[in-house]
Amino acid sequence: MNNLEESKPDLYPQHQQEQDMATSSAAIDGIAASALRKTKPVSLVRQVYDVGHRCFGENCVQELVEKAPQLSDDIEWHFIRNLQSNKLKPLIAAMSNLAMVETVDDEKITNHLNRAVGNFERKPLKVLVQVNTSGEELKYGVKPSGCVELAKHVSLNCPNLQFCGLMIIGMPDYTSTPENFKTLTNCRSEVCKALGIPEEQCGLSMGMSSDFKLAVRIIFPLSSR
């Protein structure tokens, strides 16, 4: 993520969303959009690729493993879903251009992922710690109170992983979106203090198609007015 704040708009209508992103973040460095493929066909991904987009997200291991080889190998793929340990090996084995896993949320899966990356002797894989800022019982993610310890575990005990920041998946109705975004920025401050790193080295992945502009305003309250 290269220290970028990231949002995840759906692919359609991607052209308009990229224009909106440019407008919302005019003259603001450090913002990136990851186009979330989900169930979209390969043909639509190619259309978005052809206009210059290179960062795509996927939330299904099987879909990613099957369809990524049909696309250019210079795409940076982000995996954005709770990852089961039995899916790690096929994902890492098949995806040389897997750039990031955004949904690390406990030490067990972190350790499995660290070993899988090491077994395939690839460069350290970028990861984000997923935080459950809304407190929803059915939603994955570490509690805000636990994000510091998990970030420390990744940074200190997982040499095959590169801690790059924090992420959230918002509530479907967006009712508590501002509070969730602010909670994540507070978590970042705590993590950076614990790790002794500047906040610029701890990215935030937050915001979907309907609320990424709000994410930009919360992260950059003055520049995005």
Mean pLDDT by 10 residues, the chain (225 residues): 49 46 40 64 88 87 90 92 88 92 95 95 94 85 96 98 90 64 93 96 78 55 37
What the chain holds in terms of domains, given with CATH numbers, is 5-219 (3.20.20.10)
72: its two tokens? 């250019």
First to last CA, the chain: 24
Task: Write phi, then psi, for 212 (nearest 5 degrees).
Answer: -70, -30
3-state secondary structure of 164: strand
For the chain, strand residue ranges (E) read 5-8, 31-33, 35-36, 55-58, 76-79, 98-104, 125-130, 161-167, 203-208
Q: From the CB of residue 19, how many other CB atoms can be counted at a distance below 10 Å?
A: 11
pLDDT of residue 44: 87
- Sheet hosting strand 31-33, strand order edge to edge: 31-33, 5-8, 203-208, 161-167, 125-130, 98-104, 76-79, 55-58, 35-36
CA distance 164 to 1: 7
pLDDT of residue 2: 39
202: its two tokens? 């701890």
CA distance 37 to 87: 19
